[in-house]
């Protein structure tokens, strides 16, 4: 037989053990090991429960209550210590992973479109709104599409400026985007309304206004009944859209092998004295229409060619064409 007072003494002993040791447990594994030592199936508290059978039946209920209280108290102690350790771990993690918001960041400069691309796309959008399509083609072209189809035979003096940068005997870097228009006409029936932007190559010595690599946009409209009046209207519309209202335009005679008549296009800023040449244009020569299988008695057309660099220089007051391909960020980042 075990006396109740004896049981009380043992309980109090276990409690002392518990309260002394739980508070110094330093990690979760130790808490768990210690919990098993007390509350496990063969733990100290379970062992005490086994003594119940040796207690006088009249005192057994009291003893049972004392033991249950002990069990609850022990469970609560372990849980509390576990919480303490958990939150200490969290505090430590927060301290360790603290981000210093005052540190300077990593600077990622954003790029932007080159001025030439900006101007090209703006001109494209003006003509897209008028109903033209944008066409493109190869920069390496054969002589036929560069010259013969455009009414420039082998012995024509116009070739002198253009017949260079040959890849082989009959293939060269295109001196203009006209071969793109020839190819589109070869493949489609009229009406044709296109603009052809792209990089071109010429035998020019570089200076402030010449570059052996430059960019051009050519426009071509072929349909029944087109006249120089239609060309004039489209040109004026373009000048007003791109440069601004109030600009004047005038045409004067010129010569290109692929247009007849051919004109030079000048514009004058509001209040300005001087006229500036901005591009060449004309009615598509009947010989060119025949070369692509069109009947010049049925359709007429007009075309013009402008230099993108020149448009950008006029609009932004840039005085040296070499700046465009010079890769100098002091220039590039201004636009
Ligand atoms: C200039 C002049 C021009 C054209 C280009 C053209 C194209 C075909 C048929 C007829 Cl497929 N003409 N293009 C016409 C007139 C002038 O360019 O000085 N450009 C920078």
Q: Is the pLDDT of residue 159 over 70?
A: yes
Query: Using CA atoms, how far apart are residues 182 and 118, in angstroms rounded to an integer?
Result: 26
Q: Is the pLDDT of residue 18 over 90?
A: no
In three-state secondary structure terms, 270 is coil
Query: Using CA atoms, how far apart are residues 104 and 30, in angstroms rounded to an integer?
Result: 43
The pLDDT value recorded for residue 25 is 81
The pLDDT value recorded for residue 90 is 93
Distance 262 CA to ligand 1 centre (A): 9
Q: How far is CA 263 from CA 16, 158, 251, 267, 268, in A?
A: 110, 16, 6, 13, 16
Distance 218 CA to ligand 1 centre (A): 6
The pLDDT value recorded for residue 134 is 98
pLDDT band with cut points at 50, 70 and 90 for residue 163: low
Distance 178 CA to ligand 1 centre (A): 7
The pLDDT value recorded for residue 165 is 82
Kindly state if the Cβ of 179 falls inside 6 Å of ligand 1.
no
Distance 281 CA to ligand 1 centre (A): 6
The pLDDT value recorded for residue 300 is 98
255-286 b/e (C-beta count within 10 Å ≥ 16 → b): ebbbbeebbbbbbbeeeeeebeebbbbbbbbb
Q: Give pLDDT tens digits for 89-125.
A: 899 999 999 988 898 888 888 899 999 999 999 999 9
Query: Using CA atoms, how far apart are residues 287 and 269, in angstroms rounded to an integer?
Result: 36
Specify the DSSP class assigned to residue 2. Answer: B
Q: Give pLDDT tens digits for 228-265.
A: 999 999 999 999 999 999 999 999 999 999 999 999 99
The pLDDT value recorded for residue 9 is 87
- Which atom belonging to ligand 1 lies closest to the Cα atom of 181? 11
pLDDT band with cut points at 50, 70 and 90 for residue 316: very high
Q: Give pLDDT tens digits for 184-216.
A: 999 999 999 999 999 999 988 899 999 999 999
Residue with tokens 């808490």: 31
The pLDDT value recorded for residue 112 is 95
Record the tokens describing residue 88, joined without a space.
């200490």
The pLDDT value recorded for residue 46 is 87
- Which atom belonging to ligand 1 lies closest to the Cα atom of 185? 11
Q: Is the pTM of this model over 0.75?
A: no
The closest alpha carbon to 224, from 251, 195, 193, 258, belongs to 193
Q: Is the pLDDT of residue 161 over 80?
A: no
Query: Using CA atoms, how far apart are residues 41 and 18, in angstroms rounded to an integer?
Result: 17
The pLDDT value recorded for residue 328 is 95
Chain mean pLDDT for the chain: 92
């Amino acid at each position: 037989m075990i006396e109740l007072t004896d049981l009380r003494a043992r309980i109090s002993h276990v409690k002392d053990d518990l309260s002394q040791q739980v508070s110094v447990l330093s990690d979760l594994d130790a808490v768990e090991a210690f919990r098993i030592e007390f509350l496990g199936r063969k733990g100290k508290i379970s062992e005490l429960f086994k003594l119940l059978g040796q207690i006088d039946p009249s005192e057994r209920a009291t003893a049972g209550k004392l033991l249950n209280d002990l069990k609850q108290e022990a469970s609560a102690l372990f849980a509390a210590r576990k919480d303490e350790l958990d939150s200490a771990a969290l505090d430590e993690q927060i301290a360790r992973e603290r981000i210093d918001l005052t540190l300077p960041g990593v600077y990622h400069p954003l790029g932007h479109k080159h001025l030439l691309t900006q101007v090209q796309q703006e001109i494209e959008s003006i003509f897209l709104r008028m109903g033209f399509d944008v066409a493109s083609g190869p920069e390496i072209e054969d002589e036929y599409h560069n010259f013969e189809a455009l009414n420039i035979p082998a012995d024509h003096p116009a070739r002198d400026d253009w017949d260079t940068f040959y890849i082989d005997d009959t293939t060269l870097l295109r001196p203009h985007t006209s071969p793109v228009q020839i190819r589109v006409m070869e493949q489609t029936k009229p009406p044709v309304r296109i603009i052809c932007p792209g990089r071109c190559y010429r035998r020019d010595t570089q200076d402030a206004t010449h570059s052996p690599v430059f960019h051009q946009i050519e426009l071509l409209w072929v349909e029944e009944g087109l006249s120089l009046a239609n060309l004039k209207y489209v040109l004026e519309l373009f000048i007003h859209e791109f440069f601004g209202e109030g600009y004047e335009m005038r045409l004067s005679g010129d010569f290109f092998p692929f247009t007849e008549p051919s004109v030079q296009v000048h514009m004058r800023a509001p209040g300005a004295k001087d006229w500036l040449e901005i591009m060449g244009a004309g009615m598509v020569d009947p010989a060119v229409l025949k070369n692509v299988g069109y009947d010049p008695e049925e359709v007429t057309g007009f075309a013009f060619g402008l230099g993108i660099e020149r448009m950008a220089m006029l609009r932004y007051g840039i005085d040296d064409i070499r700046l465009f391909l010079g890769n100098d960020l002091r220039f590039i980042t201004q636009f």
